[in-house]
Structures are given as C-alpha cells and as structure tokens.
Amino acid sequence: MIHTRRAVLIATAAALAAVALPRVAAAQSVYAEGGVAIDGTDPVAYFTEGRPVAGDAAITHDWNGATWRFSTEANRADFAADPEAYAPQYGGYCAWAVAEGYTASTVPEAWEIVDGKLYLNYSRRIQRRWERDIPGNISRADANWPGVLN
C-alpha cells in the first residue's frame, strides 16, 4: 500500500512538472507579468524622457519571449532596431536580487541607467540598497546571470 501511494505521488508530481516546465522555461529569460515586460512601461522612454512612461497596448513589439509596449511608434521602431540597447538588464528581473543569486519581480518606478544600461529593482527601498554599491552589485549580478534562472 505504501509503495502504491508513493508511486502515485511520484507519477503525479512528474506529470505536473512535465506540464509546468515548458511554460516556466519560456517565460524565465524576461520578467513579464502576464507576458508583458516592465508592467507595460515603455523601455525607450527611460532613456529619452528620463522617467517611466506607460506604454500603449496598441503599440507593441514581441521580443525575447515577451510583449513590450511603447508610448510612441518612434520608440517602438528604436527598440525593434536594437532591443539590447533599451531592454533592462537581467531580463527585467530585480538587479539587487540577481546580485544576491536569485530572481525577483520589479516595479517600473525603481530604475536607474548606469553606463547606458537600464537596471530595475523590486522596490524603491531595495533600489536604495542596490545603490550603496552599484559597481559591486553589477559585477556580482553579471556573474550570476543567467545562472539564477535555473
């Protein structure tokens, strides 16, 4: 009886993992709530306007497994021409968390551009912690990325 229950539990767990893994793996490289990157914020606007700007659901570009929204057609065109220049580092996951060896969600308001690259954080409070040693945190996060996705 114990062996039967154990076999059923193992088989059930394996079946659930087989169903869940393809979806998780596809969504891991970019943090995208509901498939939308940066909570729908225009990534180009951080560079051009110096602030987070809500993207328009009608102006999108699919890249790296996520839908990116833009406030203008020009911003979409700029992103489509060179997404690596505008997309946040570490797939939009929290830069502090990646530096610490794990992933966490982010909010559009906790951001900073360093050496021409966009970094996002879980919250403004966590961003202040990250800012205490930006070069060290970036170095540690670079070393951890993308291994933290496994």
Cα separation of 61 and 47, whole Å? Answer: 18
* Domain membership of residue 22 as a residue range: 2-149
Q: In the Cβ-directed half-sphere of 26, how many Cα atoms lie within 13 Å?
A: 11
Instruction: Domain count for the chain, please give it.
Output: 1
pLDDT in tens, the chain (150 residues): 445 555 444 444 444 333 333 333 333 599 999 999 999 999 999 999 999 999 999 999 999 999 999 999 999 999 999 999 999 999 999 999 999 999 999 999 999 999 999 999 999 999 999 999 999 999 999 999 999 998
Q: Is the pTM of this model over 0.85?
A: no
In b/e form, how buried is each residue of 72-86, taking b as 16+ CB within 10 angstroms?
beebbebbeeeeeeb
